[in-house]
Amino acid sequence: MNVNRAYLDCNATAPLRPQARAAVLSALDDVGNASSVHAEGRRARALVEAARVKVAALAGASARHVVFTSGATEAINCVVSGRAWKTLMVSAVEHPAVAASVARSSADHIVIPVDGSGRIDVATFATLVDCVLGTEHVLPADALIVVQHANNETGVVQPIDEIANVARDRGIRLMVDAVQSAGRVEIDQRRWGAEYLVLSSHKIGGPQGAGALVATDDAKIDALLVGGGQERGRRAGTENIAAIAGFGAAAGAARSDLADISRMADLRARLEAGLINVAPDAIVIGKDAPRLANTSLIALPRAPAETAVIALDLAGVAASAGAACSSGKTTRSPVLAAMGIHNDIAKCAVRFSLGWATTEDDVSRCIDAWQQVNRIRSGVRDVA
């Protein structure tokens, strides 16, 4: 990490944890294919299985249900577009990987609306599900509900327990995208009864290029990758041992961090108070809803997000204009559109996302940099 910069874009990629770095380097020093039966192969297999146990513990799942993938996007594609569903029900604020996978599927898709805070109203959701099952004559097993536990842009947390109850009562399969919530709030695949749950390594301080699909024994999967039969036949290909080992180490550390999540909430509270003190008309999007303790989406009216992000970057602060998963695009966020936020505000939304390495100095640097953003908006230039 650059000590002269404040990195506040952890929802895009969190800094690599020292535990994960050590696990990766140690694995790279070993040799062996996890499918081989000799001593070297058994050591590689042991690394994979140890990581599987740690990832399962973070997910509140059984280790045998964890399928390692190249990332959350692959896991999502495997479930959503890699299977012949008849009906897909997805919330209006899902990650682009879900939206793109749904678009590729031949299934009928139903969009679950959200309120002004970005949350699903459970009663409305239940009525919608009953309507779909009743009027469309869809068998529950042929339908899949896809819901983000916590949104990557706003940090707003969905009432996942209630949503899971609706799905369970009707026998409908449920996929929970827990990429952003892992290590920030409790996730519990067993309690929810979700047949599918998705995780990502680099969001929790592990290496990029690793993720997991948690799929129960009776969850139907048509593997995207076939060949050697790895991962119990659910994802073929030689395992990325080093990345998986790092993922496991990060999962263990992230789970431990849950006991100290109040520190993160205090840092965010200080950040938001400081930014609003600089610019009282700044708007914290989703502030009245349950949110992840690390995420703050703030709009400064009349200050386009791309301009604000560049000014922040020049001042030594890394932040995002919405989600980093859209390859630098600055088009209007579908998430904010679904929330009914006017485009004049949406186009000014900047996301600050804190992580395990965030310090009070990082928050102070960001508040100072925000003053420069406010000056640019006001047309005031610094005098050298």
| Residues carrying an active site annotation | 325
Q: Strands 211-215 and 66-69, how do they pair?
A: antiparallel
Q: Which of 166, 174, 247 is nearest to 211 (CA)?
A: 247
Quote the CA–CA distance of 262 and 384 in Å, as a whole number.
40
Give the dihedral of Cα atoms 208, 223, 96, 262; nearest 10 deg.
-50
Q: Which of 248, 241, 200, 197 is nearest to 71 (CA)?
A: 200
SS3 66: strand
Interacting residues of 73 by C-beta distance below 8 A, sequence separation 6+: 97, 211
Could you tell me if 92 and 146 are in contact, meaning their C-beta atoms sit under 8 angstroms apart?
no
Neighbours of 25 (CB within 10 A): 12
Quote the CA–CA distance of 74 and 247 in Å, as a whole number.
16
How long a stretch of residues is the chain? 384
Quote the CA–CA distance of 75 and 200 in Å, as a whole number.
9
Q: Distances in Å between the alpha carbon of 195 and those of 86, 189, 335?
A: 17, 8, 25
Quote the CA–CA distance of 204 and 211 in Å, as a whole number.
11
Quote the CA–CA distance of 17 and 24 in Å, as a whole number.
11
